[in-house]
Amino acid sequence: MSILFKNARLIDPEARTETTGDLFVQDGVIAAVGDTPDTADQVVDCRGKHLAPGIVDIGVKICEPGERHKESFRTAGLAAAAGGVTTIVTRPDTLPSIDTPETLEFVTRRGREASPVNIRPMATLTKGREGREMVEIGFLLDAGAVAFTDGDRVTTDTKVLSRAMTYARSLGAVIIAHPQDPGLSRGAAVTSGKFASLRGLPAVSAMAERMALDRDIALVEMTGVAYHADQITTARALPALERAKNNGHDVTAGVSIHHLTLNELDVGDYRTFFKVKPPLRSEDDRIACVEAVKTGLIDIICSMHTPQDEESKRLPFEEAASGAVGLETFLPAVLRLVHAGDIALPDLWRAMSFNPAARFGLPGGRLAVGAPADLVLFDADAPFVLDRTKLHSKSKNTPFDGARLQGRVLSTYVGGDCVYTKD
Amino acid sequence: MTFRQKHLLGIEPLHPEEIRTILDLADTYVDLNRSPTKHSDALAGMTQINMFFENSTRTQASFELAGKRLGADVMNMAMQASSIKKGETLIDTALTLNAMHPDLLVVRHPHSGAVDLLSQKVNCAVLNAGDGRHEHPTQALLDALTIRRAKGRLHRLNIAICGDIAHSRVARSNILLLHKMENRIRLVGPPTLMPSGISHFGVEVYDDMREGLKDVDVVMMLRLQKERMDGGFIPSEREYYHRYGLDAEKLAYAKDDAIVMHPGPMNRGVEIDGEIADDINRSVIQEQVEMGVAVRMAAMDLLARNLRDAGDKGVWV
């Protein structure tokens, strides 16, 4: 089975180029780029639209096991396909959490049987995410764990953390942490500043992120572990990140699409769909993070897809659950930065596909011969107004409801199979 | 007369002209309350429900009295003991009450923004009687009325707000209102009790109380919650009183005719000296309580008028 994509704007995130050309797929693998055969079993005329490697999304919460009413592998997979995400790396902060090879096996199996896109699981770093005992890192790696993270829980006991890091290093496992000082951020719903004070909401200083990152980097220096900060969202944390990288430590960082496109003022009159973790930051912080993505200081953009049902969100702001869905809105949201002229498409795409795949040793993320044909064809300019009720996710908690967005996925391919076509 | 609001959720959305409208009408209700009859039919036939999710004696009594003097049917819901404890959400409680067709809903809630949330789900007029650390608009309005009557004006005054600004909805509403009416505002208190981003509020911040009170026209004291005195925000009660308690010596830095205000209930000997609180030449604390009823009558009257107008036009139903 072969497919020929003709007249495409090919985005190559590895080479950071955008060129017009053809792409040939043979048996689920990219077989030729540019210099392609003239015919194939199936010919797709891309009409000058963009063809790129599918998005690799790190840190997606799928609420199986435990809260399937919020999201299942099926619905998350459909949302991902509709959003151009071809590989989902799942978070282990489920009920129960994914901290044994047996539960990891459940995730892998459910992902395989229910989702049209690739599902790769992460495991917790400590048992039950309690920050006391490390999980069976070796067994979990063998079972296919991509990385180890306690999600948004910070391991406060540095003895436990340093041992887990030392052990992880010996096996070459990557650890993902959520840099947020637990003391300063306790009970916080927004970032401190004028807006927080006007609304009377409990707030955390932006400094809490840098404090935690500083601590983690010291531990990385001590243990030599491969470390990824899930979300760096403040200007103050960036110099610390840059220093760690310049000093040759194996440190990378991510940022959520929400922190790149929204700021604290979007909360407005207590709109709980804008309550995320860490909280939305100031406009200055947002601009600094966009710039950091552009320069490559921040390596990875993720959706931080966190489904919450209506009941968890229809509460006073302080009591409402954190998180926003993002799989399906990832692409149009991120294109806001391109349309605003902040960043070029290939640079952006590097942070959405090539970098996460390379960092976590996943096969996708490249537009090169031999890479799996995980592809997304999209119209970067198509305007639309987002209607949250139309999202494929079971939970509809998107901050972009009613937003005017530009950029729609036309079709998504996983291993050469078409898993989504816009009707 | 200008007053276009459907709800009274905070001072923030009010126009200065609307504030004047409330205060002017409240003045007439002060006269009514001082007359022997003490009654009007402005809210006759209307149902007012008071929902207090947080303990309150004086604010609830003040709203209840205000409603009764205007002829409304007033019901108090003891929310502490009610179904909210059984796991019912705020929204469900609101919808349940809404089905009983109240006209005015007076709500106090421990979380900022909760009253706003509730107002989106009901089709009566909602009055915020205090939400978390956000706003307490009728308190700011009664303070404004008290100041206007004592000073003869509500602009170009030097006003010091002293104490726990960070946790105070009274302070937020007062800052917003006094700012809209073009006064100079000073905030006095220890830095641990100042909200973040305070330098962007258009106020002057003092951590020395004597400097902060120098030549002010109005001294507004705030209540220091007992649970804040445990060493978390200030070292001790006695150190707080020494540095930030209002006594005669510190008050002497203010203008000779400066008035002293307190939203109550007072902690005598913590934030205010008992003698100052009782000094009828300086303290207007009892007047504040009196103005509270009048201001709430005015606010409910105006909201009820808008509600009737909207009903006549067939909207909001």
pLDDT score of A124: 98
Cα B227 to its chain centre, rounded Å, is: 21
Question: Does residue A291 sit within a domain?
Answer: yes
Query: What average pLDDT does range B168-192 have in this prediction?
Result: 97
CA distance B227 to B255: 33
Question: Span B292-313, mean pLDDT?
Answer: 93
| A197, part of any domain | yes
The answer to whether residue B230 scores a pLDDT higher than 80 is no
CA A267/CA A304 separation, integer angstroms:
18
How many folded domains does chain A comprise? 1
In the block, which residue shows the tokens 């962007």?
B200
Find chain A residues with C-beta within 8 A of B196's C-beta: 192-194, 196-197, 203, 205
Q: How far is CA B292 from CA B298, B299, B300, in A?
A: 10, 11, 12
Query: According to DSSP H, which parts of A1-100 are helical?
Result: 73-83
Name the residue among A265, A288, A295 with its Cα closest to residue A193: A265
DSSP alpha helices (H): ranges in A143-206?
158-171, 194-199
Evaluate whether A298 touches A179 at the Cβ level (below 8 Å): no
User: What residues pair up with A409 in beta bridges, in sequence order?
Assistant: A378
The sign of the CA dihedral A187, A190, A191, A192 is negative
Q: Is B231 a residue whose pLDDT tops 90?
A: no
Has residue A140 been placed in a domain?
Answer: yes
Reported as a single tens digit per residue, the pLDDT across A256-273 is: 999 999 999 999 999 999
Task: Please indicate, yes or no, if residue A320 is contained in any of the structural domains.
Answer: yes
Structure tokens at A249: 């430590």
Q: How far apart are CA B115 and CA A165, in angstroms?
A: 47
Residue A27 is assigned to a structural domain of this protein: no
Q: Is B86 a catalytic residue?
A: yes
Residue from B214, B170, B150 nearest B188 by CA: B214
| Separation of alpha carbons B150 and A273, rounded Å | 46
The answer to whether A197 contacts B172, with C-beta atoms less than 8 Å apart, is yes
Q: What is the mean pLDDT of residues B199-205?
A: 92
Q: Is residue A28 part of a domain?
A: no
Q: What pTM was estimated for this model as a whole?
A: 0.93
> Residue B317 pLDDT > 50, yes or no?
no
pLDDT mean over B208-234: 89
Which two three-digit tokens encode residue B214?
Answer: 């120098």
Mean pLDDT of B165-193: 96
Condensed to tens digits (0 to 9), the pLDDT of residues A202-237 reads 999 999 999 999 999 999 999 999 999 999 999 999
For the question of an ipTM over 0.85, the answer is: yes
Catalytic residue among B7, B20, B108, B228: B108
Q: Specify burial of residue A191 (Cβ count, 10 A radius: 0-12, 13-18, 19+).
A: buried
* Residues in chain A where the model's pLDDT stays below 70: none
Percentage of the residues of chain A whose pLDDT score is greater than 70? 100
Question: If you ran DSSP here, which 8-state letter would residue B106 be given?
Answer: E
Query: Looking at the predicted structure, is the pLDDT value of residue B315 above 90?
Result: no
Whether the Cβ atoms of residue A338 and residue A380 lie closer than 8 Å to each other: yes
B286 Cα to chain A: minimum distance (Å): 28
| DSSP reduced 3-state for B2 | coil
pLDDT band at B167 (very low <50, low <70, confident <90, very high): very high
| pLDDT tens per residue across span A337-354 | 999 999 999 999 999 999
Dist. CA A358–CA A366, nearest whole Å = 9
Task: Please say if B242 is a catalytic residue.
Answer: no
Q: What is the pLDDT of residues A79-117, one digit of tens each?
A: 999 999 999 999 999 999 999 999 999 999 999 999 999
Identify the sign of the CA torsion A270, A272, A278, A280. negative
Please list every residue in chain A whose beta carbon sits closer than 8 Å to the beta carbon of residue B12.
Answer: 198
Q: What is the pLDDT of chain A when averaged over all its residues?
A: 97
In this prediction, residue B226 carries a pLDDT of 74
Give the structural domain span for A88: 54-359
Q: Does residue A268 belong to any structural domain of this protein?
A: yes
Structure tokens at A342: 């902040």
pLDDT band at B78 (very low <50, low <70, confident <90, very high): confident
**Per-residue pLDDT, B97:** 87
Contact A194 B201 (CB under 8 A): yes
Question: Does the pLDDT of residue B82 top 80, yes or no?
Answer: no
User: Which tens digit of pLDDT belongs to each residue from B104-160?
Assistant: 999 999 999 999 999 998 989 999 999 999 999 999 999 999 999 999 999 999 999
Whether A31 maps to a domain, the answer reads no
List the CATH number of the domain containing A110: 3.20.20.140
| Nearest residue, CB atoms, B196 vs list A193, A270, A318 | A193
Alpha-carbon gap, residue B39 to B66, rounded angstroms: 10
